[in-house]
Structure 1
Amino acid sequence: MFNNTLLMPNQAMPATARSLFLTQCRLNVEASKTVLRYQIELLRFCSHQLQRYQTFLDDLVESFDLNDTFEVVADFTQNALAEAPQESARLAGMASRMVSASAKVVRELADETVEDMGARTCS
């Protein structure tokens, strides 16, 4: 009647297609890891900014005089402008490292694929 057994990868697709499928899976895993790392860093950045904003609001509520209020706003703005380039540089450096790591994985996978195809052609 019907053969309900699952096909093993060796039976399901030819060797070249299987190699390309596994390569695509590995690339997807690397891309997912990269995106998750970047999201973690963005969440840290947002958390830090929200904590600074909360402190700013607390200081703003406690300032009674107009001069105190102006000083609180000026300090907050000065600190935000001072920290923004540092945070941006850190995120850009992290993105650069992630891209170079992804490029390394792609090179390795391309080399492996070429070697596999060459070995199959010679045999």
Structure 2
Amino acid sequence: MGLPRVVPEGGRMIAGKFVTEGVTVSVPTYTLLRDVETFEDAETYRPQRWIDGDKNKMLKVHLPFSIGPQACIGRNIAYFEQLMLISTLVRNFDFELACPDQEVRTLERFNSNPDELFFCCRLRDL
């Protein structure tokens, strides 16, 4: 499930097809993030693509809070919370997958979530 939008007055061409006004359309974020035109190895788990890749191209498909006037108003709070949580966890714990050979499946919802991703964490000696 993506972020639904209503086609404006006069209709629009979407992916080569005319869609009449008033129709609700949506593209799941899962699909956007698996576009081989943006990510050559879209089906491969490779987080470093966000460091090495074409930032402008990638940001066009990565819309966790939507864009425009209907974008999430809590975006900045969420970014701050993520920064605080992740930095605290990484500083205080070592992480590793419980089953490194396990294939990670995703559940397609509003956002894609991993299904049964087990990991171990150990408190660091600081």
Q: TM-score, normalised by structure 2?
A: 0.23
Q: Which structure has the highest helix share of the two?
A: 1
Q: Which has the larger radius of gyration?
A: 1
Q: Which structure has the highest strand share of the two?
A: 2
Greater RCO (Cα-Cα under 8 Å, separation 6 or more):
1
